[in-house]
Structure 1
Amino acid sequence: DKLVEHQDHPKKRNRLPAIFAICCNHCVCSFLTDYLDNGNNKMAIQQADKLLKKHKDLHCAKVLKAIGLQRTGKQDEAFALAQEVAALEPTDDNSLQALTILYREMHRPELVTKLYEAAVKKVPNSEEYHSHLFMAYARVGEYKKMQQAGMALYKIVPKNPYYFWSVMSLIMQSISAQDENLSKTMFLPLAERMVEKMVKEEKIEAEAEVELYYMILERLEKYQEALSVVRGKLGEKLTSELQSRENKCMAMYKKLGKWPECNALSRRLLLKNSDDWQFYITYFESIFQLIDYNWTPPAEGEHSLEGEVHYSVEQAVKFVEERITEEAKSSRPLRGPYLAKLELIRRLQHRGCNDEYKLGDPEELMFQYFKKFGDKPCCLTDLKVFVDLLPSSQYTKFINQLLGVIPLSAPVDGDLALPADIKALQQHLCVVQLSRVLGLYHSIDKTQKLSVVRELMLRYHHGLQFGKSCLKTELQFSDYYCLLAVHLLLDLWLEEGEELAVWQSLTLLEEGLSHSPSNAQFKLLLIRIYCMLALMQSTYSTTPSAIISCLYG
């Protein structure tokens, strides 16, 4: 438009070449980039050659041609052309960005640093080039140069982020330092002084800056100072993550061995959200620490900085029971309180004092939990943590008890009892997987295993009807039936040398993948089985231990 405007204006017509010179480089980059973005690398090279015949000094065109050459496999030509442009030390954005892309594709990020070092020397007050230089150093791990680049940038443009880039570079130097003493006596103290300077001048603006200060103090093992930062005015900026401030306080209380504060804080947070599992763990850990140290609250005043403290098993039992009672009033079911009761039972069993508190039978509690949450995919991972509470003699009884509450169709003429909806299918899947976890499939013979495999595949095919509307990126609801069947076949192969079983497992996995193309477990298992088959055909060791090592890493 500007070219047309100047061409039509008689007084400006003589300035047309100058305007063309300004606009040309950008236009060239634009249409050549379109070719490259569309994967038309050969066309990009051809068009670049045509331009370079008429305008030999179009640096951007040379670099874009080099990118096309790189992508067509002509690395040496591309590198030679790129170095020809780089030797001229260009300072235009298009050439610099194109060279950066090329060097990344060549896996030569160190050349990007040289590129921007030259650009910064020519244009010393450019904020953009200084920031690109900093990032280039970051990619190659040049932490000392990152620190220098960050401070140079801060002097040009005094913004907090640039100052803290330099601080972060010091932390990275401390992490990468081989001498731990040097890290704690030079890099981290210098970083601490730099941040303290900003704190004294009241220039701390962002949450990330407070996070950085906390990180430095934690690495210096100045836990009390870190706690003061989090609890103080600066801690008010920690808002991006839910309960970020409380989590950091909790971590410092643990480091300092302040178990009363730890207990009081976790108790207070559980009163707000009784489904937060991490705070149950902290609550139990702290209460047993207080019991072991025979801690008692002071006669007067608050129990701790965080309020009331629980310091006996009776209080813990009452607290958990209250959380379960409150859960019954909740608008949505919460898993935390029920799992907390099982966790408390396990901890009391390890201490040999469970019977006196009458928290209930773990088997019955797990059964009730399954009735409430058995249709949720998380039910298996929740319950398998506590299967050690069950005596092995009760495994079969427990599984049968779970199967008894699943709504399955009545079997007709030897047919399977199948789920009528997704909820029942998820419940049944949970029980089948628990059976595997408890080892019930390991104790059966070859004939029984093959029978279970056939049953699982029948259930898998039946369950596909519930996933007809699933996208290709979604998993079928019944995929775990197929996966379990494959694992049983692999057991037959690895433990009993049944060669037919491995070929059956491959068939099942390929079938499963045709229905669930995005199932990563199918893909990984296929890769490992193919690797195992290649291992067995090689001249190397084919012992069972070697095969199992290949399969399970």
Structure 2
Amino acid sequence: MASKFGMAGGIPERRVRPIWDAIDSRQFKNALKLSASLLTKYPKSPYALALKALILERMGKSDEALSVCLNAKELLYTNDSILIDDLTLSTLQIVFQRLDHLDMATSCYEYACGKFPNNLELMMGLFNCYVREYSFVKQQQIAIKMYKIVGEERFLLWAVCSIQLQFFCGNGGEKLLLLAEGLLKKHIASHSLHEPEALIVYISVLEQQSKYGDALEILSGKLGSLIMIEVDRLRMQGRLLARAGDYAAAASIFQKVLELCPDDWECFLHYLGCLLEDDSSWCKGASSDPIHPPKSVDCKLLHLTDEVFDSCISNASDLVEKLLAEASNDSIRCPHLANLEIERRKLLYGKGDDNKLIEALMQYFFRFGHLACFTSDIEVFLQVLTHDKKAQFLEKLIKSRESLTMVPIKVLGQSITVFKIQELVGNLFTLPTGDLEGFAVQMAEIYCKNLPLSKDLDEQESMHGEEPSLYGMQCVGSVILAY
């Protein structure tokens, strides 16, 4: 607590603690009463005013809160004897931000930094204000200033990331990246790098300039040891090799990753793309979202001869068979999805068989059809099938109900999956009214039949497979409304 309050604005902690305790427990009337008592003793304290503004804002009295904040801001600007500290400014910042006046909080920090130019805490607060305002140039400037004062690696990285954000937004071009690279090189020469994040940022700066050879050299050198997890280092190496156009070497690296992490679906897509010398994942403008990696990528296959294509697909199939044979966990989905992707590529190339893809989809259903993610998993593979073939797959799914697993929870998941596929294929609302009635009744019966599965769950959970269950009831409502 002492580190939290200290002597903010010259006010002892023992006088401030009860107010924060009341705020944290949402006893705002009591907090306001305590705040009024504090202001009686410290009427000219910006921190005491900031606390009152915070309480008023939490009580929904926005206009009063803003007025009190402006009074505190005026005191900071006009009274040179007042102690300016980060806790006072951060409290004001919270209120100004919640009142949609972040620019006023920024001006307070700018004033404080001008008055105390080498105060690191105040400068970090100002940096955070610029971050919230997306002021990338000002972020860079204040981060470099902090780096020059203390020489810490983190401030250099803040500056470099600010430069990269400017580049991403098209506000500077290649010269900005050269500046970032120069800053990093100078720091490495004098201090080296000590955090894996620093190396990742350095490599990303080189990668953005297409300096893949330099990045690979650094990754394989002494600094590469900062990436202590082998598969992470291999993934970076494979990506750099692929971007450099060395697809054979990249495929070999991605194969190593798959052997270490057989459930890495994104890595399999990269591996197959490199085998087929397809730059869809690596060319400029290609989507690269580490949080939501794509289920598939666009394919460029026309440059391949039949012989080369067959050889690549054979190599990929051999690897998938090896991964399946060595899989020790039944929940691993990547090798099974990989079989579907291989059949998809065959169809796109013109050498595939619709029936083989449907059979592979059925096998995937029997293994993973109870999962809520099943429909999103196979959606991209259904796109390469004709409407008639989709209908054929759906018919097989419906018939498979007779041979579903005997585990009740999985039966529920598989049944809901069949409903989802019916909606995805698009024939649900083309059925006659009588069929729709029966369909709605069937879903409602499945839902009611499986309600007992919820009896052993925690009170905060509604039932097993909550997502598909809610989806099922939504479908019931949709069908009823439709007919």
TM-score (structure 2 length as normaliser): 0.80
Q: Which residue of 2 aligns with 1:287?
A: 275
Q: Which one of the candidate residues 61, 69, 94 is aligned to 2:56?
A: 69
Q: Which residue of 2 aligns with 1:268?
A: 256
Task: Indicate if the aligned counterparts of 1:29 and 1:60 stay in contact, CA closer than 8 A.
Answer: no
Q: Which residue of 2 aligns with 1:194?
A: 183
Please state if 1:316 is matched with 2:313.
yes
Q: Which residue of 2 aligns with 1:215?
A: 204
Which moves more between the two structures, 45-54 or 275-284?
Answer: 45-54
1:399/1:292 Cα in 2 relative to 1: closer, same or farther (>3 Å)? closer
Which string of whole-angstrom CA distances, capped at 9 and with x for unpartnered residues, describes residues 134-156 of structure 1? 22222222333222322222233
Please list, as runs of the form range in 1=range in 2, the aligned pairs for 1:5-24 lying within 5 A after superposition.
24=11
* Counterparts of 2:445 and 2:8, CA distance in 1: 72
Task: Indicate if the aligned counterparts of 2:212 and 2:243 stay in contact, CA closer than 8 A.
Answer: yes
* Counterparts of 2:375 and 2:435, CA distance in 1: 24
Q: Which one of the candidate residues 439, 442, 453 is aligned to 1:452?
A: 439
1:126/1:425 Cα in 2 relative to 1: closer, same or farther (>3 Å)? same
* Counterparts of 2:304 and 2:446, CA distance in 1: 56
Q: Which residue of 1 aligns with 2:478?
A: 487
What runs of 5+ residues in structure 2 fail to find an aligned partner?
Answer: 1-6, 77-82, 279-300
Which string of whole-angstrom CA distances, capped at 9 and with x for unpartnered residues, describes residues 294-347 of structure 1? 79xxxxxxxxxxxxxx96524632552453355245332233223222221221
Please state if 1:91 is matched with 2:91.
no
Q: Which one of the candidate residues 366, 369, 373 is aligned to 1:378?
A: 373
* Counterparts of 2:132 and 2:20, CA distance in 1: 24
Task: Indicate if the aligned counterparts of 1:119 and 1:129 stay in contact, CA closer than 8 A.
Answer: yes
What amino acid is the match of 1:345?
E
Which string of whole-angstrom CA distances, capped at 9 and with x for unpartnered residues, describes residues 217-267 of structure 1? 232233333333334333332347x73323333333332222212222222
* Counterparts of 2:234 and 2:385, CA distance in 1: 32
Q: Which residue of 2 aligns with 1:533?
A: none
RMSD of aligned C-alpha atoms? Answer: 3.2
1:159, CA displacement in angstroms?
Answer: 1.3
* Counterparts of 2:426 and 2:42, CA distance in 1: 75
Q: Which one of the candidate residues 343, 346, 370 is aligned to 1:345?
A: 343
What amino acid is the match of 1:349?
L
1:285/1:41 Cα in 2 relative to 1: closer, same or farther (>3 Å)? same
1:73/1:401 Cα in 2 relative to 1: closer, same or farther (>3 Å)? closer
1:369, CA displacement in angstroms?
Answer: 2.8
Which string of whole-angstrom CA distances, capped at 9 and with x for unpartnered residues, describes residues 379-425 of structure 1? 333334333447256245412442231157xxxxxxxxxxx721222
Which structure has more RCO (C-alpha within 8 Å, separation ≥ 6)?
2
What amino acid is the match of 1:372?
R
Q: Which one of the candidate residues 110, 113, 118 is aligned to 1:120?
A: 113
What amino acid is the match of 1:386?
F
Secondary structure in structure 2 of the residue aligned to 1:332: coil
Q: Which residue of 1 aligns with 2:297?
A: none
What amino acid is the match of 1:190?
L
* Counterparts of 2:303 and 2:252, CA distance in 1: 16
Q: Which residue of 2 aligns with 1:516?
A: none
Task: Indicate if the aligned counterparts of 1:371 and 1:405 stay in contact, CA closer than 8 A.
Answer: no
Task: Indicate if the aligned counterparts of 1:457 and 1:482 stay in contact, CA closer than 8 A.
Answer: yes
Please state if 1:81 is matched with 2:68.
yes
Q: Which one of the candidate residues 218, 239, 249 is aligned to 1:229?
A: 218
Q: Which residue of 2 aligns with 1:404?
A: 402
Secondary structure in structure 2 of the residue aligned to 1:201: helix
Task: Indicate if the aligned counterparts of 1:379 and 1:430 stay in contact, CA closer than 8 A.
Answer: yes
What amino acid is the match of 1:276?
D
Q: Which residue of 1 aligns with 2:294?
A: none
Please state if 1:369 is matched with 2:356.
no
Q: Which residue of 1 aligns with 2:329?
A: 332
What amino acid is the match of 2:152?
K
Secondary structure in structure 2 of the residue aligned to 1:470: coil
What amino acid is the match of 2:362?
F
1:167/1:349 Cα in 2 relative to 1: closer, same or farther (>3 Å)? closer
Secondary structure in structure 2 of the residue aligned to 1:53: helix
Q: Which one of the candidate residues 3, 15, 33 is aligned to 1:46?
A: 33
1:285, CA displacement in angstroms?
Answer: 2.1
Count of matched residue pairs: 440
Please list, as runs of the form range in 1=range in 2, the aligned pairs for 1:225-264 lying within 5 A after superposition.
225-239=214-228, 243-264=231-252
Task: Indicate if the aligned counterparts of 2:235 and 2:257 stay in contact, CA closer than 8 A.
Answer: no
* Counterparts of 1:78 and 1:337, CA distance in 2: 58
Please state if 1:183 is matched with 2:173.
yes
What runs of 5+ residues in structure 1 fail to find an aligned partner?
Answer: 1-19, 296-309, 409-419, 493-497, 499-553
Question: Which structure would you say has the larger Rg?
Answer: 1
Please state if 1:134 is matched with 2:131.
no
* Counterparts of 1:169 and 1:149, CA distance in 2: 10
1:452, CA displacement in angstroms?
Answer: 0.6
* Counterparts of 1:21 and 1:149, CA distance in 2: 24
1:109/1:338 Cα in 2 relative to 1: closer, same or farther (>3 Å)? same
1:171/1:458 Cα in 2 relative to 1: closer, same or farther (>3 Å)? same
TM-score (structure 1 length as normaliser): 0.71
* Counterparts of 2:348 and 2:182, CA distance in 1: 47
* Counterparts of 1:153 and 1:392, CA distance in 2: 61
* Counterparts of 1:54 and 1:200, CA distance in 2: 55
1:457, CA displacement in angstroms?
Answer: 0.7
* Counterparts of 1:71 and 1:124, CA distance in 2: 33
